[in-house]
Structure 1
Amino acid sequence: MAKTVTQNQLIGEIGEIAAKLRFLRMGFQFDVRSRLETGIDGIAEVMADGKPLAQMIAVQVKTTKEGRYAGETEEGFHYLLKSEDLAYWRPSNLPVIIVLYRESDESFYWKEIPRGDDAQERRLTFSKRDDLLDRNAANRVAALTVPKAGFGYYVPPLGGGEEALVNILPIKLPTEVFVATTSYNVRQANAILLQDDEPARFDWVIRGGTFWSFHDPRTSVCRAIVDIDQVEAVDTAHLAFHDDVDERNAFAYLLRQTLDHQVRGELWWSKENSCFYFAARAEYTARVFKYESSKKLTEADVVNPIESKREAGSIAFVRHHAFVPRFESLYDEWYLVVEPTYVFTTNGFTSHPHPDALLAGKKRLDKSASLRGQVIMWHRFLKSLEPKTDDLFAVASSEPRISFGSPPTLELPTRVPDDVWGSPKKDDGDQDEPDLLRRA
């Protein structure tokens, strides 16, 4: 019996060759995989001015000769992924994109495949304007190779500059840490402090029968939970840069507790989201924070009631600017990593019952300018809480504090275009507030 090539095999081969040519014209290398492939047809490598960068993207090509996609209109269409393909792509260590090629009109569309815990939705929605695979999409495709985890991420600046802002704030530590023995565990110590007549404070750590704090416990309500005659001041560096990882973790927790004490009354802590967020002053009431941006005096609606579109005059939810804090030590310095986010409440005080959908919608709208602005805003806010050393009428305070330097900047050899953050999407609850840095 003579061997034959099926029509599906032929169309698939045509699609892979066409996709390779498209990537080459976009400035990428493209290597087709062997016949043993089971869900990834080729590997695209990012190049800059003809120089390969060893930044790879896995590509799966789906080819059709003609016909319409599901739900196709002039604006877009839908595409349903196979469950077995999703299961194959989910653990990938490379970003994975799907490319749809239709031979009849020579059209190419692309979409990133969600991985990890997000890889649940099989139905992808394509925009014929925004998801075209052409030269205009090169930067967005290349941006998929940028790692999204680690000590910090680069936030591209406004305009066409090459300066990048890093979302870490250098920390200036107090020179001493007060150490004392205690016979209480954390729960017992909390109960004692809450029952005392003096205001409770929790900017301390108890670990293995030892109490740590930047403030002298003998001068505060904490005298009730330590052995007074065993209080000793030690050099901060001894604990901050200890060789033992558990010791450094305990010190990082002390920093978090100290920050919580310093921002009390201004920020609240969300246990569910592990983040600080701006406190509301009253129900359904906006709160504005004015500060000096990188260019001029500006302000941000840090607590923002959003009006319902379904019921005129009522508030759908209240959005609070927030950040997830993470303390990291790099070499001989500690940093606060600032990860901007949002907290949603029903009235400014009560947690919203469905915050995840609201957060996802707002995150889709946040572009580089907004994230850059939030990092700057949080630095200005933390600095605003520090005593004003140049104010002749300021009351001197002996209270030890952690203070924060400006976020560092780096000169990038290549500008990261703003469109790699994706196209802005309309959000029902967000039409009343522009991106933060539009005011800067």
Structure 2
Amino acid sequence: MKRIGRSDIIGQRGMAHIEGIVLSMGFMFYPTGGVEAGIDGFIELRDDETGAVGNLLLQVQGKSTERRRLQAETDESFEFPCSEADIGYWMQGTAPVLFIVVLPEKGVAYWKSIKSWFSDPDRLKARKIIFYKKTDLFTKEAKAAVTAVALSTVPGAIAPSARIEEELLVNLVGISFARTLYWAPTSYSTDKSFGAALRELDPKAGSEWIVRGKAVLSFHNLDVWPWNLLCEAEAMEEFGSDEWSGSDDEDRQRDFVALLNRAMSEFVRPALWHDRDSGAYFFRKPKNRDRVRYAYKSLKSFVPRDVVKRYGKRRADPSQPTYWRHSAFLHRFVFLDGDWLIEITPTYHFTRDGYNSNLFSGEYLKKIKEFENNAAVMGQFVMWRHFLVSHGAADLYTDRYPYLAFAPLEPLTLNAGVPDDLWKSQEANPNSPLFDWAQAERAE
């Protein structure tokens, strides 16, 4: 009698499992059938919405096993050895190869992209694949990652989008500003000369004004002291701020942005200082403190962050740090679709003593950006957004800052996106010391 062995049944169960997962992604699976040298089937990408296919193919090598314990298995991972001949066969092909291990009794499968894994010389030399049980699961949720593998060897290819709803966190914050501007002639022709005269009269006078062509444009009423001593108050005019903010005249828009920047400098005081060279605002270091923590409302809860901290030791005096690192941001006011917004770019500022700029700031910043990942930047932006929205608000002791205010924007929603697990796995350094992933999960 002819016989079909148990190994054949196990292998077929593995292929059935793989095909089921592929079909659940909306893709097609074509078993090789018959004689094959190391490829059990092909996956063809397909747009689940339109049904369109574009000859984007992945090869599949499946291994199905009922072994109770896999090689070098732990709670987190296991290994699968590969022969030198098989690796050579897979690597020299023109199409990407997915190696999929199926455990039929447990109803689970794990996958790796062969060419990506063995592109590392050390892995190639070891001739084994390490599967991680949490991140390498072959399920419907791996669709976007599988698509990325297919696109990796096809320049310019367009794949079906991942049909998931995605909320985008953009680095923009809404702004509002005083609705009245005051204009008056003056005998002073520059900001510097006008400012010097103003400080002599009132050292605490605000700086929400600019001088252009021997005239002052200001958020302050120029008909009151001390402004009326520096301007021709009887010639003062009042305007709606929209005559500048909504103007098509580029000069007026530039003047309005200059006025907003002046207001910004007043708004952040005294918590932040401004570095004139880089344009960055940064948390200042209080006297007799080498560390400052700032608690802010993240995406879900309040979390603390070190915003001023000392680092290293000086050779000449080990009691002194090499530098202080300050959380900072760069900003730009932008006019989009009829609204004024502020664009926030998180960065860092470095000082030699907590106050004065460090000569090696550029090198420190370059190094930190090499290690910084997406989550670190996201966390910093959320912190700065919270600062802008909450700072300057009214309390029992002070009134709300009258000339500038900030508000968070509604998130942008798309009907296509990339699963978080995919882009997180592609971070240059997911273990960056600049960000705590556990904190990120609590924040999201």
Aligned to 1:306: 311
Change (3 A) 1:106 1:415: closer
- Offset of residue 215 of structure 1: 2.1
* Amino acid of the structure 1 residue aligned with 2:217: W
Among candidates 403, 407, 410, match of residue 409 of structure 2: 407
Shift, 1:200, TM fit: 4.0
SS of aligned partner of 2:329: strand
Rounded to whole Å, the distance in 1 between the matches of 2:174 and 2:434 is 34
Asked if structure 2 preserves the Cα contact closer than 8 Å seen for 1:214 and 1:400, the reply is no
Contact 2:330–2:346 (8 Å) recurs in 1: yes
Report what 1:375 is aligned to: 381
Where in structure 2 are the equivalents of 1:116-195 lying within 5 Å? 128=120, 138=149, 162-184=166-188, 185-195=190-200
Whether the 8 Å contact between 1:176 and 1:235 is mirrored in structure 2 is: yes
CA shift, 1:294, in A, is 1.3
Q: Which has the larger radius of gyration?
A: 2
- Find the aligned partners of 2:323 and 2:219 in 1 and give their Cα distance: 39
Report the Cα distance in structure 2 between the residues aligned to 1:352 and 1:161, rounded to whole angstroms.
Answer: 45
Deviations 1:194-216 (A, max 9, x none): 33343243221111222112222
Partner Cα separation in structure 1 for residue 313 and residue 46 of structure 2: 47
Quick check: 1:193–1:201 contact (8 Å CA) kept in 2? Answer: no
Which secondary structure does the structure 2 equivalent of 1:258 belong to? helix
Question: 1:396–1:323: structure 2 CA closer, same or farther, 3 Å change rule?
Answer: closer
Q: Is the 8 A contact 2:209 2:262 kept in 1?
A: yes
254, 259, 263: which is aligned to 2:259? 254
- Taking the aligned partners of 1:225 and 1:420, their CA distance within structure 2 comes to 61
Partners of 1:183 and 1:226 within 8 A in 2: yes
Distance 1:199 1:269 in 2: 18
TM-score when scaled to structure 1?
0.60
SS for the counterpart of 1:166 is: coil
Q: Which amino acid aligns with 1:228?
A: A
Residues 373, 430 of structure 2: 8 Å contact kept? no
5 Å-filtered alignment, 1:172-321, equals 172-184=176-188, 185-219=190-224, 221-282=226-287, 285-308=290-313, 314-321=320-327
- Specify the code of the residue in structure 1 equivalent to 2:120: K
Per the alignment, residue 77 of structure 1 pairs with: none
Query: 1:269: how far off?
Result: 0.9
Cα separation, 1, equivalents of 2:53 and 2:318: 55
Q: 1:220 to 1:198 in 2, by over 3 A?
A: farther
The CA deviation string for residues 383-407 of structure 1, in whole angstroms up to 9 with x for no partner, is 222333xx6x45546x622111103
Give the C-alpha shift of residue 167 in structure 1.
0.7
Aligned partners of 1:48 and 1:375: how far apart in 2?
35
How far, CA to CA, are the matches of 2:240 and 2:122 in structure 1?
A: 56
Shift of 1:414: 1.1
Contact residue 168 and residue 336 of structure 1 kept, 8 A: yes
**Paired amino acid for 2:201:** D
Q: Normalising to structure 2: TM-score of the pair?
A: 0.59
Structure 1 residue 316: Cα displacement: 2.5
Letter in 1 for 2:276: K
Unaligned runs of 5+ in 2: 1-26, 28-44, 55-87, 94-118, 125-144, 157-163
Q: 1:354 aligns with which of 349, 354, 360?
A: 360
Distance change >3 Å, CA 286–CA 250, structure 1 → 2: same
SS in 2 for 1:371: helix
Q: Percent identity?
A: 25
For the residues of structure 1 that align with 2:313 and 2:47, how far apart are their CA atoms? 47
Identify the match of residue 331 of structure 1 among 309, 328, 337: 337
CA positional deviation for 1:368: 2.2
* CA deviations over 1:302-327 (Å, ceiling 9, x no partner): 11222349897652221111111100
Deviation at 1:175, TM superposition (A): 1.4
Structure 1 residues 422 and 432, CA, compared in 2 at 3 Å: closer, same or farther? closer
Q: CA deviation at 1:420?
A: 7.4
Q: 1:220 to 1:421 in 2, by over 3 A?
A: farther
What SS is found at the alignment partner of 2:277?
A: coil
Separation (CA, whole Å) in 2 of partners of 1:206 and 1:169? 28
User: 1:140 touches 1:420 (CA, 8 Å); kept in 2?
Assistant: no
Which residue of 2 is the match for residue 340 of structure 1?
A: 346
Q: How many residues align?
A: 308
Partners of 1:235 and 1:130 in 2: how far apart?
68
